Structure 1
């Protein structure tokens, strides 16, 4: 079984931080406003693991991202 994750496309992200506000248990923001994972491996910053209770919030973050930098993936 694959685990759900939130994928961040760094070529599109401009650091507005809306996703970090919506998924505040999974993401924080760095000094420039870009999302930073609060969990997972250091090298896995593009795919942020999600818990089952965060899936609706992740879908909202994907839908509300103004630059379409987010997507839900299974890893």
Structure 2
């Protein structure tokens, strides 16, 4: 059996080193990929919270409040 070439990545959530197929490494454009579904979901939550924090810092007085949870996003991290 021929094994595809792999590249070592480090999960941005838990820090675990793991092998990624070379084609996925190319498609990651320099970003580190998560090691599994749980870390992928946690990473999405982390990114979303960072975005909301940044938007809150930039908010002007009188702007409508930012949503805490978007109803359309509830099942979005199941992939």
- TM-score (normalizing by structure 1): 0.28
Higher alpha-carbon Rg = 2
Tell me which protein shows more strand as a share of its residues.
1
Tell me which protein shows more helix as a share of its residues.
2
- TM-score (normalizing by structure 2): 0.27
Q: Which of 1 and 2 has higher RCO (CA within 8 Å, sep 6+)?
A: 1
